[in-house]
Amino acid sequence: MESTISSSGNYRINFFKPNSTFLKDNVRTIVIRIAAWAVAVFGFHILLYRIFPALLVK
């Protein structure tokens, strides 16, 4: 019988040290999405600042 999380009753999952391939892929996907979000949000603000510096409120 294969030991899985559901059959063993071990529900402890560490986000920073994933054990299975599925969890490693899941963590990689989450990190990529957070990085893409940060670039989209803050990169857009930096781009606006560089193109239209007169729009800044002083």
Q: pLDDT, tens digit, for every residue of 6-51?
A: 566 667 777 788 888 988 999 999 999 999 999 998 888 888 888 8
Task: Indicate the pTM of the whole model.
Answer: 0.60
pLDDT at 32: 97
With 70 as the cut, is the pLDDT of residue 54 above it? yes
Domain-wise residue ranges, the chain? 5-55
Q: Do 18 and 24 touch, CB atoms closer than 8 A?
A: yes
